Structure 1
Amino acid sequence: MTSGSPRDQVERGARRGEAFAHAHEAGVKRVGRAGVAAEGVVYLLIAWLAAQVALGSGGGSADSSGALAQVAAKPFGVVLLVVLALGFLAMLAWQVVAVITADKTSHRVSAVAKAVVAAALAVSCLRFVSGGGSSNGQQQQTLTQRVLEAPGGAVLVVVVGLVIVGIGVGTVVRGFKRSFEDKVEGTLSPALTGLGVAGWVARGVAFAVLGALVVVSATGDTGKSRGLDAAFREIAAQPFGTVLLLLVALGLAAYGVFQLLTARRRARA
């Protein structure tokens, strides 16, 4: 029979959970690397969709939902979606363990963010498997509209947009500083390093533009908050936008290839 106060019981449970996480960290990491590869596949598809937007032939949504829709439309698409979902669930488990075992606050925060993304992607995959897939952009626009209708909603939307801009700028900086190298066990070849730099910079640019559009949506133009698809179309609308967006698409493709080629050697996601 368990004794002690409820607080003591919670503390004992937390210690047991931490001990379990440390004991199984290596095994969970090995399985979780499948999620890195799955992310690489999704980014390759997003890059393809972004290139189609740049060339004026993109009819679908150029974001993760559009990428998964592309998978669903292929022969054996359901099987592929299930495999991707399993990969993202494995990454989710890895990041939960990383949150518990991380020795740096920055690593813990990053693991929490990646766990949320992995869970969202896994759910999206399963929705497409069940035939209930939908556009992330439309969902984000609806959410933004609801937030704007709440007291102080416009301020909150601006804050969220600025945070996303900050994440984008930070990602660009990490790309140029090659901070991604500590995610991979062993050394990287010059080719892989080049892919990493291009990938992180392109992702940073895309998210910075996305954040700026979220800020603009605080004025009531919620169509600007439709996710990466809106960001890509905004880039394409600028002078030399086709060239700029094609460069971003190539960078995102580089990120996808980097994830695929380094998945089995990842120390962190």
Structure 2
Amino acid sequence: MKNSTKKIAKFGFFAKGSIYLISGTLTLLAALNMGGSKSGKFKVLDFLEKQPLGNVILIVLALGLISYATWRFIQCFKDPEQEGSDTKAKIKRAGFGVSGLIYLVLAGIAIKKVVSSSGGSSNTQNYIDMFGTTVVAIVFIAIGIALAVKAVFHLKKAYHKKFMDEYSIANLKYHTLAKNAGYFGYYARAVVEGIIAFFFLKAGLYSRQNEIKGTEDAFSFLQNSSYGSILLGLVAAGLASYGIFVLLLSKYKRFDN
């Protein structure tokens, strides 16, 4: 694998890890009533925009997210890590492509915040309504199923600790930190993805409400449940831990060739 490709991947992991670390930290502070706010990926962009040199930070982050999307597309179409071409591998590589699209959109929103004086988010409801209730319901059900499968995948990955296969860190001092952060982080991601999958499936099957639900809605769902603040704090800490895991991956990622 070319060194330039490895650098693109590592820069992308750094950007992704930063997003998760900030999201988890802000939400954990909110759960502890220490400021902060329930923050998904898009809310993190709003937070960064308000910081000193916010536009500079957003530009760097956007470049990192574009790098991550590029790495995902390379994994999808060129298979640099030799996942193979059987059914399981094709599904996994298709998932890489979807992930690339999501982070490319996130990068585009970050860039839009820099170039647009309004800094506001677009009204996704208007775009959804024009497709009609039936089409939106089908799409929501498909998204819900995909997220549910992803949640199960992350549960299995955490349980079997397969995520450590991504590292060349076995004999380094950060090995234990990476293992614990990944273990906690993948379980937290599975919880959030499972809740969002429930939202999409419910909207598609029953309510017919054309609403996009995301991480912030999952946080609110946790907060409004029994022992809400504790559950919210645990999941938020888990997402922050996942951010640490990915940041370490940006330095110690193992490439097979």
**TM-score, normalised with respect to structure 2:** 0.83
2:17 aligned residue:
40
Q: 1:217 Cα deviation (Å)?
A: 1.9
2:58 aligned residue:
81
Per-residue CA deviation, residues 56-111 of structure 1 (Å, 9 max, x unaligned), is 68786621111011101000111111111111122222223223331224352243
CA shift in 2, pair 1:226/1:110, >3 Å: closer
Choose from 164, 186, 211 the match for 2:147: 164
- Aligned ranges for residues 93-104 of structure 1 at < 5 Å? 93-102=70-79, 103-104=82-83
2:162 aligned residue:
179
Matched, 1:220 2:202: no
Choose from 162, 168, 180 the match for 1:194: 180
**1: distance between equivalents of 2:179 and 2:191?**
18
1:206 aligned residue:
192
Matched, 1:63 2:40: yes
CA shift in 2, pair 1:231/1:146, >3 Å: farther
**2: distance between equivalents of 1:117 and 1:152?**
21
Q: 1:220 Cα deviation (Å)?
A: 3.0
Task: Report if the CA contact (8 A) 2:16-2:68 is conserved.
Answer: no
Q: Mark the runs of 5 or more structure 1 residues left unpaired by the alignment.
A: 1-21
Matched, 1:254 2:241: yes
**1: distance between equivalents of 2:135 and 2:42?**
30
Per-residue CA deviation, residues 123-175 of structure 1 (Å, 9 max, x unaligned), is 12101212354448x63x5555555x343542442232122122112212211
Q: Tell me which moved more, 70-79 or 58-67.
A: 58-67
**2: distance between equivalents of 1:213 and 1:53?**
22
**2: distance between equivalents of 1:93 and 1:32?**
8
**2: distance between equivalents of 1:48 and 1:258?**
14
2:110 aligned residue:
125
2:221 aligned residue:
234
Choose from 230, 235, 243 the match for 2:230: 243
Percent identity over the alignment is 23
Larger Rg: 1
CA shift in 2, pair 1:142/1:167, >3 Å: farther
Task: Report if the CA contact (8 A) 2:133-2:210 is conserved.
Answer: no
1:265 aligned residue:
252
CA shift in 2, pair 1:229/1:135, >3 Å: farther
CA shift in 2, pair 1:142/1:176, >3 Å: farther
Give the letter aligned to residue 241 of structure 2. A
**2: distance between equivalents of 1:26 and 1:98?**
15
Task: Report if the CA contact (8 A) 2:141-2:200 is conserved.
Answer: yes
Task: Report if the CA contact (8 A) 1:168-1:205 is conserved.
Answer: yes
Q: Mark the runs of 5 or more structure 2 residues left unpaired by the alignment.
A: none
**TM-score, normalised with respect to structure 1:** 0.79
